[in-house]
Amino acid sequence: MEGLLVHFFVLSLLSLLLGGLCQEDAAVYIVTMKQPPAVHCIDELKKFASSGVSYGGSETFNILNKTRNYSRTNTNYSSYLIRLQNSLLRRAFRGERYLKLYSYHYLINGFSVLITSQQAEKLSRRHEVANVLLDFSVRTATTHTPEFLGLPQGAWVQEGGPEVAGEGIVIGFIDTGIDPTHPSFSDYLSVNRYPIPHHFSGICEVTKDFPAGSCNRKLVGARHFAASAITRGIFNATLDHASPLDGDGHGTHTASIAAGNHGIPVVVSGHHFGNASGMAPRAHIAVYKALYKSFGGFAADVVAAIDQAAQDGVDIISLSITPNRRPLGVATFFNPIDMSLLNAVKAGIFVVQAAGNTGPSPKSVSSFSPWIFTVGASAHDRIYSNHLVLGNNLKISGVGLAPGTDGDLMYPLIAATHALTNETTDANDMYLAECQDSSLLNKDLTKGKLLVCSYSIRFVLGLSSIKQALQSAKNVSAVGVIFYMDPFVIGFQLNPTPMHMPGLIIPSPDDSKIFLKYYNSSLMRDKDSKTIIKFRGVAKILGGLKANYSISAPKVMYYSARGPDPEDNSLVDADILKPNLIAPGNFIWSAWSSLGTDSAEFEGEKFAMISGTSMAAPHVAGLAALIKQKYPNFSPSAIGSALSTTATVYGKQGSPIMAQRAYSNPDSNMSPATPFDMGSGFVNATAALNPGLILDSGYDNFLSFLCGINGSAPVVLNYTGHNCKISTMMGSDLNLPSVTISLLNQSRTIMRRVTNIANDEHYSVSWSAPYGVSVSVSPIRFFIASGQQQNLTIVLGSTMNSTSASFGGIGLYGNLGHKLFIPLSVISKTKHKTTVTRKRC
């Protein structure tokens, strides 16, 4: 692909080519052309007969079979498109300076180019050009979970165990790269034959810091994309690495969650925390680095990465990234990333994206389109807790992956500001309380004591670190460290932090006040001089190395972005359910890059525990690989349906899943989760491999939906080359495994079509109506033969006027044990007929 080696010549040409441009308003633009991309040259997806359905991966399944990759190697047409692009630029900019960064030709036909706004205007007037868009920035959305998801006893057993789970499936990661030396990505751990899938044609870049041999039968491809960042002058080749090497940690973490090897020991700060495994430990990994530690990323680079991943033949794309702003224009769906992913779906690729970490506000979701499977973050049942016991027997909870102090011994407490050397002058300096410089501390005073340090805003900003405080404590012979929360650090949530010595952070400002009150009241001072003459406060640290298991999991995390899905930048609601479901995303152990700096506390470690919807998305990518392995001919929508309809809305004890509603004290601000918090529910890995019925949608359905948006016809033509006919299709008319209606004006009839991928079965149907809505479904009972389809008619009526969202659901129950749940969400309800202006043709 053109652009693979672009960084090598960009650096040398920048000063020459940009001299004139930079004096003007040069910027990177993404240009799409009217000629269709290479993926549109693939033969129309074939329809099969209605018999011969497979119940496993060995036979031919003919209802949902979607052919793919027939024309991936059609280099003649791709070369033709590139020649057209180059010719256009030469003719449009005769004698003018410009710098072409990438050619896109597989999923979209276009390019990214560094030009001035006047040149962009000139391009937009060319008859060959469909669209000219200013580049925009994107960001990352930032073990035990296989057991929590039931994989060892469920899905892995069905696949033949972890030694074969995900075999033959390639997952492409658009992220910050990978550490190829990590044992999670080694191919030497398997005793069985481990061939690279024939359908994958990707390559492995070779650079000084990503040498030959970095890729193997596990890590089958690795590239990097940074041209847009380089042109802006913000790319630091030393820090950001002009190679697929992960200098951040995020990409290594997400790849390992989805497809890391099975049974890799997790050792951090010398402590063993069990063994790690990806969801599909036998799947293959292809890395497309387009995000970087120092600046995030840009759409031009991300689109190039997606285009290459699809051309290489990945089966699944995992995106733990989101745009920094909501896309402008007719609808949120019309942006280069989402439209590239629409064509990826056309090519048969299942696309998973993180919902974003901007919750818990409504409409905060940053993944918009119905062809993208959006994942929110939940807690799982493993928690690490640490406690401090004071001399007055008061017990204070804290965080810290640290050993405890010896037995029942109580140790004296001493604050850093009370242990300064005589040479230290300003005891009120914030820095001194943070224990960052052992040369300022009096070892004679601190030896054998618990050193008390302040956790200030400087830790949040990365100016001070836990590791440095621990080193200071070691240097002055303290037995451990206690961090109290500075009152100016409000609402900051702490991840469990590894410590090589007894230690603990008190995350609550209120608990910190209680601790400081005890400490200060225990000081013995001289009556006249008020100097401290004795430290009488004592405490012991219980330790936080052993995991506890909660019965309240799962719950939707406060940071997980929420629906409803905004259809446009004015926050009009779309008839699309987002997120699609939730998966474990909080406190996730996974592989970490040896150069990773994304989480300072884990710098230099092989594993890290971090949180975010970035961690939830690759869980689902790995589980999708298991489904794709069992049902190789499933369409992307069929995979999404299997995951969605089998998700659970109940926790471990059978009570409804809860959602955190506030950033501060989130566990004290919870209520039952709705579909706008959790989509269809919490992913059920085992049930998803045997869904019984499937709801399927295809590329043509998504095109009809896009054409139904008012004013969308020119944009659809620009991105897809498709001429819209009159369409009244709404999002609720798509054959999705959910029903979402933003405005129910008196009544609406919705159709859903299910396909049986199992044996002949009898089904009964029941439902619960959203508040203020009447619901009827027909038929209420039906028999469906293997491979056959059944239409369901859903009639919803308003029984009141309301603008408050309400929720219900439809359950389908088969006599062979299959259970499906389709959530119902209705936002605004109008009982009497009114004239409503909607964004439809």
Sheet holding 781-784, edge to edge: 739-745, 819-830, 806-814, 761-768, 781-784
Q: Which residues pair with 291 in a beta bridge?
A: 297
CA distance 643 to 630: 13
175 assigned to active site: yes
Q: How far is CA 363 from the centre of its chain?
A: 17
Between CA 192 and CA 170 the distance in angstroms is 18
Looking at the DSSP bridge assignments, the partners of residue 28 are 114
Q: Which of 144, 250, 619, 818 is catalytic?
A: 250
Query: What is the DSSP secondary structure assignment for residue 245, as one 8-state letter?
Result: B
The whole-angstrom separation of Cα 559 and Cα 593 is 25
Contact 660, 669 (CB under 8 A): yes
Instruction: Answer whether 465's CB lies under 8 Å from 600's CB.
Output: yes
Per-residue tokens: 603: 């710098």
For the beta carbon of residue 528, count every other beta carbon within 10 angstroms. 6
Distance, CA of 16 to CA of 18 (rounded, Å): 6
> How far, in Å, are 140, 263, 271, 484, 565 from residue 513 at the CA level?
35, 43, 31, 8, 42
Residue entry with tokens 């042109």? 231
227 by Cβ neighbours in 10 Å (0-12 / 13-18 / 19+) ranks as buried
Question: Does the annotation mark 312 as catalytic?
Answer: no
* Residue 716: its H or E element: helix 713-720
> Are the C-beta atoms of residues 341 and 372 closer than 8 Å to each other?
yes
> Are 512 and 490 spatial neighbours (Cβ–Cβ below 8 Å)?
no
> And the tokens for 489?
């650090």
Closest CA to 493 of 585, 376, 611: 611
Q: And the tokens for 113? A: 């180019």
CA-nearest of 754, 710, 704 to 724 is 704
Q: Which residue of the set 318, 611, 614, 825 is catalytic?
A: 614
Neighbour tally for 188: CB within 10 Å: 11
Cβ atoms of residues 254 and 614 within 8 Å: yes
Phi/psi for 441 (5° steps) reads -105, 145
Cite the DSSP H helix spans in 160-226: none
Catalytic residue among 40, 103, 175, 568: 175
DSSP helix/strand/coil, 37: coil
Among 487, 453, 808, which residue's Cα sits nearest to residue 649?
Answer: 808
Would you call 614 a catalytic residue per the annotation?
yes
The type of residue at 275 is N
| Residue 433 DSSP SS3 | helix
Helix (H) or strand (E) holding 745: strand 739-745
Q: Do the Cβ atoms of 104 and 111 come closer than 8 Å?
A: yes
> Residue 234 phi/psi, 5° resolution?
-110, 0
Longest dimension (CA), the chain: 97
According to DSSP, the residues that pair with 607 across neighbouring strands are: 591
Beta bridge partners of 704: none
Give the whole-angstrom CA distance, residue 288 versus residue 223: 5
Q: In b/e form, how buried is each residue of 319-357, taking b as 16+ CB within 10 angstroms? A: bbbbbeebbeebbbbbbbbbbbbbbbbbbbbbbbbbbbb
Helix segments in 506-573, DSSP class H: 509-521
* Residues taking part in catalysis: 175, 250, 614
